[in-house]
Structure 1
Amino acid sequence: MARDSVTFEFNSFITRLNRSVESVLQSAVTGVHDATDDLLALSREEAPLQEGTLRATAGTEVTVEGDEVVGEVYYSVVDQSESGERFNYAIYQHELGENYKRPTTPGTRPKFLERPLKANSQRYNEMIADAVRKGL
């Protein structure tokens, strides 16, 4: 009785598959960088400008945690109240809400980070997906 067989070498396949996963992950990192950079630029345009400190302390950070890519846009200013207590000025300015009656610079307003994120979230998802597709 004659037998035929087929041999498949998996090592090369697995190596290429791992490279593909790494390529997709790096492409996602690129897409998240693009999205966070765009969000930073848009939010800076809306952030209060009286002294410029708030806008100057803004930044982005993109990290990889396992197979998850995390993008962050942040503002970080600590100020001191008249009573001497330290408080997070960035959060205070962001959350002012209706108390923000007379901005010193036209076009600035509270929720300067949240508003452009909500308005552009679909576009940011598309930016990341496009970057991943390019990396395939």
Structure 2
Amino acid sequence: MSFTLDAGDFLHRLTEEESNVTQAAKTAMYDNVDDLARIAQNIAPIDKGTLRRGMKKKVTLKRKSIIGEVSFSAKDKGFNYAVWTHEADYNLGPTSAGAGGSDGYEVGNKYLERPLKGEAQKYIDNIANAVKGAL
């Protein structure tokens, strides 16, 4: 007795489904990165605006991982002002102190870490719902 199975159509549909899921997750990651960048940029301290203008974001697909990145850079004479303003405890200058926050976050240090931790469940849910919708 012999049995022959042409799995071409089945495998094609699996590949297509995987592609749809990956694209949905990638789109959701772009949305998450945009949201985090928006909040962080609006609560980063302000002096001359260099720090806020130095925000960058990107999404990359590596193997089976989708990586979202938000970063800030503000260098002055080799000193990375972005790291200092994120990590240090300091008194805000008048421009920063008078600036409004965003989404319930105040202007100040940990401007990237605070919203990442605070919005983490929302970002996880966004990706989960996108994947679920693609299946």
The bucket for the TM-score relative to the shorter chain is: 0.7 to 0.9
The residue aligned with 1:45 is: 42
Q: How does 1:1-136 map to 2 (within 5 A)?
A: 7-80=4-77, 86-97=78-89, 100-104=90-94, 105-106=96-97, 107-136=106-135
Q: Provide the secondary structure at the position in 2 that maps to 1:69.
A: strand
Q: Provide the secondary structure at the position in 1 that maps to 2:60.
A: strand
TM-score, structure 1 as length reference: 0.85
**Structure 1 position 77, deviation (Å):** 1.7
**Structure 1 position 78, deviation (Å):** 1.6
Q: Provide the secondary structure at the position in 2 that maps to 1:109.
A: coil
Q: Where do 5+ consecutive residues of structure 2 fail to align?
A: 98-105
**Runs ≥4 residues deviating over 2 A:** 5-8
CA distance in structure 2 between the aligned counterparts of 1:102 and 1:55, rounded to whole angstroms: 15
**Structure 1 position 131, deviation (Å):** 1.5
Q: CA RMSD in A?
A: 1.6
Instruction: Indicate conservation of the 8 Å contact 1:103/1:109, yes or no.
Output: no
Which has the larger Rg? 1
Superposed CA deviations along residues 41-80 of structure 1, whole A, max 9, x for unmatched, are: 1111210111111111112100000010000011112212
Q: Where do 5+ consecutive residues of structure 1 fail to align?
A: 81-85
Instruction: Indicate conservation of the 8 Å contact 2:37/2:70, yes or no.
Output: yes
Instruction: Indicate conservation of the 8 Å contact 2:45/2:92, yes or no.
Output: no
